[in-house]
Amino acid sequence: MATDENNNKAASRGSKFLKDIGVYAIGNIGSKLITFLMVPMYTYYVETADFGYYDLCLQVCLLLLPFFTLQLRDGAFRFLLDCDDEVQRQRIVSFVARVLLVSLSVSLLITGVMALFTDIRYLGYVVGLLIAMSLQEVYSQVFRGLGNNRAFVAVGILSALGIGVFSIIFVVGMGWGIKGIFLANIIARILALVIVEAKVRLVTRHTRWHIDFREVGRDIVRYTLPLMPGSLCWWLTGSSDRLFISHFLGLDDNGVYAVAIRFTGIIYTLAIIFYQAWQETAILQYNSPDRNRFFSRMFNSYIFLLAFIFVGYVLLLKVNYGWLVANEYSESLNYIFPLGLSAVIFAIAAFFDMGYQCAKDTKRTLPAVVLAAIVNVILNFALIKPLGVYGVIITQLVTYLVLVIYRWHDMKRYFVLKIDQRVLVPVAVMLLCAVPFYFNSMKWLDIVLMIIALVIIAWACGKESRDQLLAKFIKSRNAIK
C-alpha cells in the first residue's frame, strides 16, 4: 500500500511538473521565438561592430543586474512560494518595491554624475535598459511567487512582442541602428509590465508603504546576499567571454560571436523552461520520502530531452543558416555546435543548483561558481590569443564541465541520483553529430542523419518512458486548456 501511495504521489508530482513546463514553455518559447526572429533582421540592418557593442552593453547590464536588485528575483519568489499569510505577502512585496525604488534613485544619480565626467557611448540607454530589465526580472518573479503564472507568461510574451514591433519601427523603419535596439528593449519591457499590472493589480494590491517589513527583509537579504557574489562568478563564467573577445579580437568578432550565441539561445531557453518548472516542483516536494527516486527519474529524462533538442536543432539550423544571416555573419555557423553543447552542459549544472535552493543553503553555491570563474578567466587568457574565438568556446565548455563535476559530488548532501546507463546513448549521439555538422556539405544527408540520430535517442529512451511522457503531456496540455 505504501508503495502504491508513493507511486501515486510521484505520478501527481510528475503531472504537475509537466503542466508547469507547458505554462512556462508558452511564455518562454513564445517570447524567445520573437527575439530569435529578430536576429536575422539585426544582421541585415546593424553593422557587426555596432551589434558587438550592443551585446557588450547587454552583458554589462547582466553583470550589474543582481547588485542593482539585491538578487530579489530569486529571494522574492522563494519566500513568496513558502508564504500562506496575506500580511506576510504584503511585507515581502513592499520590501521588494522599496528596494527597487532606492536602486532606481541611486542609479539615476550615478548616471548623472558619470555623464558629467565620462563620455560613454549610449550611457543613458544602457542605464535605461538596466532599469527596465531589473523591473521586469523582479516583478515577473513576484507574479510567479504570488501564484499567477499567467501574468508571468504574459509579461514575457508582451515584452518580446513589443521588442519585435519596436525593433521594426526603430531599426528598419527609422534606421536608428543600435539606438533603435536599445529603445525597443527599454520601451517594450516597461510597457509589458504596465499592461499586465494594470490588468491583474497584483503588485498594487500587495504593496503597503508603511507596513513593517524589517524582519522579513532581513531574512530575504540573508538568503540573497550569498547569491550576489555567486552571480558575479556566474557572469564571469558565462558572459565575460564578450569582454575578452572585444578586447583581444575586436567588436567585429564579438558581433559575429553574439549572433551565434543568440541562435544557440534556444537551448538555454529550454534550460530556463525546465528550471522554472523544476524550481517550483522541487521546492514543494523536497521533503517527500521518495525524493531521490523522483529526482533521478527527472534527471534521466532531462538528458534524453536535451539530446533530442540539441541534435535536431543544430543540424536543422545548419541546413537553413545560409538564408538566416547576412554574409558578414556567416562565420558564426562554425561556433553553433560547440556553443550548443556548452548550453547542454550548462543546463545540467542548473539542474544541480536546485539542491541549494530547496535547502535554503545558498551560501554553498559560492565554492563551485568561484572555482568555475577562476578556471574561466585563466583559460580565456591562455587560449584566446592562440585560438581566437575557439579559445573562448573551449574555455566555456571546460568551465561548465568543472561546474557539473563539482556539483555532482556536492549535491549528494541534498539528494542522490541513480543514473540510468541508457543515458550514454544520447550523450554518444550528441558527440557523433559533430561529424556531419563539420564534414558534410550535402543538406539532404544532414536531414537524413538527423532523423536517424533522433530515432536512436527515442528508441534508447524506452517504450515505457515514451508512453508515460506522452500520456502526461496530453494530460498536462488538457489541464492548461
More confident residue, 183 or 202: 183
Q: Within 10 A of 477 (CB to CB), how many other CB atoms are there?
A: 12
Indicate the range of 90-94, 118-122, 139-143 predicted with least confidence: 118-122
Using 50, 70 and 90 to split pLDDT, how confident is the model at 70?
Answer: confident
Whole-number pLDDT of residue 464: 59
Whole-number pLDDT of residue 478: 46
- Domain coordinates in residue numbering, the chain: 1-16+233-481, 72-224
CB 366 within 8 A of CB 378: no
Residue range 139-168: mean pLDDT, rounded: 89
CB 61 within 8 A of CB 130: yes
Residue 14 clears pLDDT 70, i.e. is over it:
no
Indicate the range of 198-202, 227-231, 370-374, 446-450 predicted with least confidence: 227-231
Residue written as grid cell 531574512: 219
Counted residue by residue, the chain has a size of 481
How far apart CA 432 and CA 434 sit, in angstroms, is 5
CB 393 within 8 A of CB 338: yes
Percent of the chain at pLDDT > 90 equals: 31
DSSP per-residue codes, 88-123:
HHHHHHHHHHHHHHHHHHHHHHHHHHHHHH---TTH
How far apart CA 138 and CA 140 sit, in angstroms, is 5
Residue 271 clears pLDDT 80, i.e. is over it:
no
Residue 422 clears pLDDT 80, i.e. is over it:
yes
Q: Which residues of 56-75 are buried (b: 16+ CB within 10 A; e: fewer)?
A: bbbbbbbbbbbebbbbbbbb
Residue 202 clears pLDDT 90, i.e. is over it:
no
Residue 111 clears pLDDT 50, i.e. is over it:
yes
**Mean pLDDT over the full length of the chain:** 83
Whole-number pLDDT of residue 444: 92
DSSP per-residue codes, 350-410:
HHHHHHHHHTT-GGGGHHHHHHHHHHHHHHHHHHHHHHTHHHHHHHHHHHHHHHHHHHHHH
Over residues 326-349, the pLDDT tens digits come to: 788 888 899 999 999 999 998 888
Whole-number pLDDT of residue 20: 58
